[in-house]
A and B are shown apart, each in its own frame.
Chain A
Amino acid sequence: MLLIKGLDVYYGKLHILKKVTLHLNTGEIVALLGANGAGKSTLLKALIGLVKNQSGEILYQDKPLHHLPPEKRVSLGLTLVPEGKGIFKPLTVEENLLLGSYSWYAFKKGKLLKESLDEIYTLFPMLKEKRKQLAGTLSGGQQQILAIARALMSKPTLLLLDEPSMGIAPNLVKEIFQHIKKLKEKLNLSILIVEQNAKSALSIADRAYIMETGKIIFEGEATSIAGHPEVQRAYLGRDIDTEVPL
Chain B
Amino acid sequence: MSKDLKFLQLERLQAVLNRVYKEVPFYRALFDREKLDPEEFGDLSDLNKYPFTTREDLQKNYPYNMFAVPLREVVRIQASTGTTGEPIVAGYTRNDLAILADLNAKALKSMGLTKEDVVQISFHAGLFSSAFGIQSGAEKIGASVIPINFEDPKKQLKILQDYRTTTLVCTPSYALWLAEVLPQTNINPNSLMVKRIILCGEAFTEKQRSLIEEKFKARVYNLYAVMEIFGAAVAYECHERKGLHFQEEHFLVEVLNPETLLPVKAEEVGEIVITTLTKEALPLVRYRTGDLVIIKEGLCPCGNVTLLTSGILGRKDEILSVRGIKFHPSQVEKIIEETTGERLEMQIHLYRSEGVERITLLVALGESLFSDSFAEQEKVRERLEEHLYLELNLPIVVKFIERSSFERKDGKILKVVDKR
Contacts and interface: CB of A to CB of B under 8 A. Distances in A.
Interface residues of B, number: 25
Contact of A6 (B22, B43, B70, B73): B43
Interface string A202-246: 000000010010111111100010001110000000010110000
B242 interface: no
Interface string B1-32: 00010011011101100110010000000000
Secondary structure dominating the interface of A: strand
Task: Name, among A5, A217, A220, the residue most crowded by chain B CB atoms within 10 Å (CB to CB).
Answer: A217
A241 B12 CA distance: 27
Nearest to B12: A219
Contact of B39 (A3, A19, A219, A230): A19
Contacts, number: 60
Contact of A215 (B7, B18, B69, B278): B18
Nearest to B6: A5
A56 B42 contact: yes
Interface string B23-63: 00000000000000011111100000000000000000000
Contacts of A229: 69-70, 73
Interface in A19-73: 19-23, 56
A130 interface: no
A5 B39 contact: no
A215 B39 contact: yes
A132 B19 CA distance: 52
18 contacts: A18-B39, A18-B40, A19-B39, A19-B41, A20-B14, A21-B10, A21-B14, A21-B42, A23-B7, A23-B8, A56-B42, A209-B15, A215-B18, A216-B15, A217-B15, A217-B18, A217-B22, A224-B95
B70 A242 contact: yes
B18 A216 contact: yes
Given A216-B14, A219-B12, A220-B95, 7 more contacts: A19-B40, A19-B42, A217-B19, A220-B278, A228-B95, A239-B70, A241-B72
Contacts of B4: 23
Nearest to A218: B15
B390 interface: no
B39 to A, nearest CB: 4
Given A5-B7, A19-B14, A218 B42 contact: no
A216 B42 contact: no
Contacts of B7: 3, 5, 21, 23
Contacts of B22: 212, 217
B98 interface: yes
Interface string A170-211: 000000000000000000000000000000000000000100
Interface in B69-83: 69-70, 72-73
Interface in B188-205: none
Contacts of B278: 220
Nearest to A216: B15
Contact of A23 (B11, B69, B95, B280): B11
A3 B14 CA distance: 15
Contacts of B38: 215
A107 to B, nearest CB: 43
Contacts of A23: 4, 7-8, 11
Contacts of A20: 14
A220 B278 CA distance: 8
Interface in B348-399: none
B14 A215 contact: yes
B9 to A, nearest CB: 10
A42 to B, nearest CB: 15
Contacts of B14: 19-21, 215-216
Nearest to A210: B15
Interface string B89-119: 0000001001000000000000000000000
A22 B73 CA distance: 26
Interface string A4-17: 01100000000100
Contacts of A5: 7, 10, 42
A47 to B, nearest CB: 16
Given A6-B43, A56-B42, A229-B73, A219 B15 contact: yes
Contacts of A56: 42
B8 A218 contact: no
A19 to B, nearest CB: 4
Nearest to B98: A224
Nearest to A22: B11
A232 to B, nearest CB: 10
Contacts of A3: 7
Contacts of A239: 70
Contacts of A6: 42-43
Nearest to B73: A229
A216 B17 CA distance: 10
Contact of B11 (A15, A18, A216): A216
A143 to B, nearest CB: 35
B251 to A, nearest CB: 15
A126 B72 CA distance: 48
